[in-house]
A = this chain, B = another copy of it.
């Protein structure tokens, strides 16, 4: 499936709702659970998504669209959310994510992007040249990957509790 802006936006606008539906009001035994040392909980993942809204997707799209002399993206900080989420409830993070996502999608819509603009390039600090179209497709996949991760992390808390059914539940051993 080629990247298509309306279809991509349809996913991006649903992610805050989906995470709220999955997580809001759940016992912390679910939302603070991880897959083991140095892995993230659902709470951590929402914080990471917030940091992406602030520093990754729309800011990188702006760099590409500006086509200035330096089109190199700032490296993404994979630990910033541990600091930034401190003292915040999951409900507050879900609200913050929804508000930032709405702002980002409003900015994106305001650009009325053309195919020519979607083909413009920026410079990824590791990969080198990447297009705006690839960045936006990645935004969509990144959302979906983290929704899948939230579900997987929660599922794994019952790896033992399911008894012999574990053999039928591949999510428990991914």
Seen from chain A, the residues whose Cβ lies within 8 Å of a Cβ on chain B are: 1-4, 6-7, 10-11, 14, 17-18, 20-22, 25-27, 29-30, 33, 124, 127-128, 130-131, 133-134, 137-138, 140-142, 144-145, 147-149, 151-152, 154-155, 157-158, 161-165, 167, 169-172, 174
Q: How far is the CB of A46 from chain B (nearest CB, A)?
A: 14
Nearest opposing residue in chain B for A170, CB measure: B145
Q: How many copies of this chain?
A: 2
With a cutoff of 8 Å between Cβ atoms, the chain B residues found around residue A149 in the complex are 148, 171
A124–B10 Cα distance when bound, in Å, is 41
With a cutoff of 8 Å between Cβ atoms, the chain B residues found around residue A27 in the complex are 6-7, 10
Nearest opposing residue in chain B for A159, CB measure: B141
